[in-house]
Chain A
């Protein structure tokens, strides 16, 4: 159980970025996730890839934060991809009926 959230960002180029989330995404930590993702939501960016393989737990505040990425994707035509979801996290997306709405990949590109 992680009380803090960590990030590792890999910018492939100016248009494509991969961000690894490390820790639990809760009402306590999701504001930090939003801080990290929000600057990426530009009209210039083409793909934001969020790796969740090191996230053990995510609640609705985390999902709400990622919904903002989905909104960016719909608005700009950019790709917002989630990958590497562990069973617990995938289950929450499924309970929220959002597992088919998000662009989810099994492996991290």
Chain B
């Protein structure tokens, strides 16, 4: 007996699907944004992303979390689950995926592409409304599924492509 060495620590086969994934379950307090930032930093470092791209991923994750807390839960307490992983694609590319799940009674019913394509009105600037456009701008794909008991959101970032061209879903 003694302190286990690294090779002693292994996942049972039934848990192997969790290797490489990070999962979080949070209440939607705004300070949790900083926890998400740490998660993003770890995953983008594993993905070998540049600081600029890592910041863009952080923006996407931050904005989506903020949207859920503000609009889905309306500033009230609520559970958010987040899972992130790097997935190999058949074309030898890899993608970094963030899955958000909320249990809010308000289901989002908008059209992500429509929001992303709205023209900018710089003459009549107003605070707010930028979040979803930023999400679409930084991610390669943003998907939303309304569920019976909440929402599922998926952000996808191509790892090998370098810069994204925004919301190609």
A64 to B127 alpha-carbon distance, docked (Å): 4
Whether B128 contacts A64 by the Cβ 8 Å rule is yes
Interface centre among A26, A60, A68, A88 (most CB of B within 10 A): A60
Q: How many A residues face the partner with a CB closer than 8 A?
A: 26
A26 to B61 alpha-carbon distance, docked (Å): 12
A26 to B35 alpha-carbon distance, docked (Å): 12
Whether B127 contacts A68 by the Cβ 8 Å rule is yes
Whether A67 contacts B55 by the Cβ 8 Å rule is no
A24 to B62 alpha-carbon distance, docked (Å): 12
Chain B residues near A87: list those with CB within 8 A.
51-52
Chain B residues near A41: list those with CB within 8 A.
none
Contacting A at CB under 8 A, from B118-153, are: 120, 122, 125-128, 130-131, 133-134, 137-138
Chain B residues near A67: list those with CB within 8 A.
125-127
Residue A15 lies at the interface, judged by CB distance under 8 Å to chain B? no
Report the minimal beta-carbon distance from A15 to chain B, rounded to whole angstroms: 24
A71 to B123 alpha-carbon distance, docked (Å): 10
The listed residue (B51, B62, B69, B137) touching A59 by CB distance below 8 A is: B62
Whether B52 contacts A26 by the Cβ 8 Å rule is no
Whether B33 contacts A28 by the Cβ 8 Å rule is yes
Chain B residues near A59: list those with CB within 8 A.
59, 62-63, 66, 131, 134
Report the minimal beta-carbon distance from B118 to chain A, rounded to whole angstroms: 12
Whether A57 contacts B37 by the Cβ 8 Å rule is yes
Given contacts A26-B66, A88-B52, 6 further A-B contacts (CB under 8 A): A3-B31, A26-B30, A92-B59, A96-B133, A96-B134, A98-B122
